Structure 1
Amino acid sequence: MKRFLCLATLALALPVHASNPGLDAMARQQDIPVTELRVFAEVMERIRSAYVEEIDDRTLLEAAIRGMLLDLDPHSAYLTPNEFDDLQVSTSGEFGGVGMEVTMEDGFVTVVTPLDDTPASRAGIQASDIILKIDDTFVKGMTLNEAVELLRGEIGTDVELSVMRDGEDKPRTVTLTRDRIRIQSVRSERLEDSYGYVRVTQFQNNTGRDVQRAIERIRQEQPALKGLVLDLRNNPGGVLGGAVQVADLFLDDGLIVYTQGRDAESRINYGASRGDVIDGLPLVVLVNGGSASASEIVAGALQDHTRAVVVGRRTFGKGSVQTVLPLHEDRALKLTTARYYTPNGRSIQADGIHPDITVNVARVELMETREGIREADLPHHLASGDTPQEGNAPDDLASRDYDLYQALSILKGIHLSRQRAH
């Protein structure tokens, strides 16, 4: 790399059409495209001399670096000091903004997922929404980091988005008020009939510990726990270590995930340690198109080990590994260096995790039904002889969250089939 930069510097210093036998010989030996470097030098010189406004060399060189990374993939990026700080803040669990994870697709900013209880989620922003404009600025041609900078701002200020959704004829305008985004990555509750529910919104450094504590609380409240739903819907990913920790909670041994770079020797394995936090109880993992990266690692590992039934819709398919390489002056290079693979060797990249049971998007409305006459309705009927039992209160889970309702139904079915098998 240093030799390449040295040659680039020499090429920039030479007259554009000059030839240097020593430089050319060194370039051939190192397979360095000196002709292209000279073209680069010519373009830079033409911009410096003919562009409508004066522009300094530092700005031009930073723009060249960004352009070099832009054509690689949507996730590689050059990070200025502020952007490097933002990346570090996002893994700590608190930042200012509108509360959505975004990516770049075909030159447009696309929503991966809105974060729970944030301005974006409250305004109805959904996964796969395309952002065309931020305030008065079109995002076409921007880098992802530039778009994120426009989305962030002082708490209490407004940002206006032009949003296009699949199936709609024209974009709509959404105004969001920026807020302090505190990511509580884990929340839990006890569902009906002794079933537990844990939702992970993003993987942070301590997510594994937080999930374990949430399950311990559920088991203290309900010692006779029958099963658990792990909700990873609209989870954009996060820290790899957090995903490995969560998958490890439910596995006794074996491979969780491995990464593979360009070289065969670059493979890194992440394995499970002994101990299942729910002692083998039935487990359902809930996913959708907003489940990406680290959440796909968890779902894929539990699916390959047949430890869980994955329910929902195909996940986002972000299966690449980004390494943050610090540079001088507090800058950094976020570079894609490997791909994620599930224990069975499936690549997550651009394919995602396919659920074992697909639940299509649906909205359920509970309807009143007229039931036929039962034995208990007949005059002078005999009593059952048993102590009357109160029925469960009507539950509107199906209308509130159809995916979760289906996941709970599947979980009940697994529990019943195991119970009857014994």
Structure 2
Amino acid sequence: MDSPHIKFEIPDEHRTFSPFPRLPPELRQQIWREAVSTPGMSFVKLESRGRNWRWVSLNRPFSQAISDSGSNKSDDLDEIALEVKNEVAPRRLWDTRLVPMSANQKSDISSYHGLNKQLAALLTTCGESHDMVNNLMRKKGTVRSSSGKLVALAGSSDIIFLEYFPSELFESGCSYDIDPNCPSLDNIRRVAVRYCHQWQEKPVPSVCPLCGLVHEAANNNVIYPNHLYHFLARHLPNLEEFYFVDYFLLRKAAPSNPDSADNWPPRKYKCGPRTYYEADSKAWDMKPQVLRMQEWLQDRFIRYAKASQLSRHKSPEKVRFGVLACEWDIVPPVSLKTQAAPPAPKGRNKRMMYEDHALRRQRLRRKSRNAKSVSPNVVAANVPFIFGNPDNSFEFTFEVDWRRM
């Protein structure tokens, strides 16, 4: 459980720290770096340049027997060996670029927008902060979008929420048999992807219509994302942490007597109205299939990265896997109920209401008596000619266009 937030106001005379210039240079540099090290999450995707995704597998079609949790370990080893033996290097160089997930900046809640604002402010603060920002941005390992905008600093704890496939391919069990040709992927150290519940619900076809491979399962109702561990091992060589983001996770009720020694505050990443927490089975209602999918992915990633020649990751066993839950800070909507009518003023009894109605009837009678009677045979209009008046004399002229007859 999180500790309650403490709100306090800092007086204006204490908002500046005058002895800061007298601190050691190493301490000042650390303070500048801590000012821009708040962990956050940025939402980006791989976009194909000039053409849409078209998926035809170049690998030889062979049966990829996916074992369940009760399968033998030797069968899994043989399956990885068979997959590595039959795989070929991708021949298609698919030109992609790293772009924001939302085209409209107003709807993009990524934390790198705030990071760029902080860096812009530090560039104009003083010469020391200016040099510190330039050193951070020139440091090897910074993640930038294809337009050159900074997404994450080198060595930061920010998480990149990445979409590397369209939804129809992401929900399938296809392999990742292309080369995205995106150098920005090499600098990503912490990545998160959406957990797809369709992996557990869709029946597995005999032959996949997307890639032409045969995806089999023991119970014939589970799809395992082979493309996921292929992508992680081949195109994220510096990966340190991986997370599934399950938007269906709900927080459990708080225990009556929580043990403070065992309840450490979880990692959290704030971006816009959303807060992402690292979930565990003690505080969150986690489904068993999500944990099984995480274990399956971690095991497959480690063994595939060690056996495949296409893998670029050197230490797959050091990658940390986890699950993130999301909570929204939503303001309740304004009530649309009609307001109650104000009560009638006190002191108005039935007698006073009867007198008011009688007075209104008398006024209507007076108006009807003073009204002038109008003859129904005479019609007056605000024109120089009045029909029915013998004193009128007006000559009418008619013209006919015979060409239209």
TM over 0.5: no
When you count strand as a share of all residues, which structure comes out higher?
A: 1
TM-score of Structure 1 vs Structure 2, range by shorter chain: under 0.3
State the TM-score, normalizing by the size of structure 1. 0.24
Q: Which has the larger radius of gyration?
A: 2
State the TM-score, normalizing by the size of structure 2. 0.25
